[in-house]
Structure 1
Amino acid sequence: MTAPPVEMNSPLWRFSLAVYRGAGVHEECLDVQERFGIDVNLLMLCAYVGAVEGAVLSASDVADALEASGAWHANAVRTLRQVRRTLKPWGSGEGPFANMVEALRTKVKGAELEAEQIEQAMMWGWLRAQAGPWRRREPRQALIANVFALLVRCGATGAQADPQQALPQFCAAALRVGTREQATGTGP
Structure 2
Amino acid sequence: MVLQANIRKAQQGDVEAFNQLVLAYQDHVYTAAYRIMGDATAADDMTQDAFVTAFRKLGQFHGGNFKAWLIRIAINTCYDELRRTKRRPTESINDDDYDSEANPKLVSKADSPETYVQRSELRSAIEDCFELLSAEHRLVVTMSDMEDYSYEEIASAVNISLGTVKSRISRARMRLRDCLKTKGELLPSVYRQDNVS
Q: Determine if the TM-score, normalized by the shorter chain, exceeds 0.5.
A: no
TM-score (norm 2): 0.27
Larger Rg: 2
TM-score (norm 1): 0.28
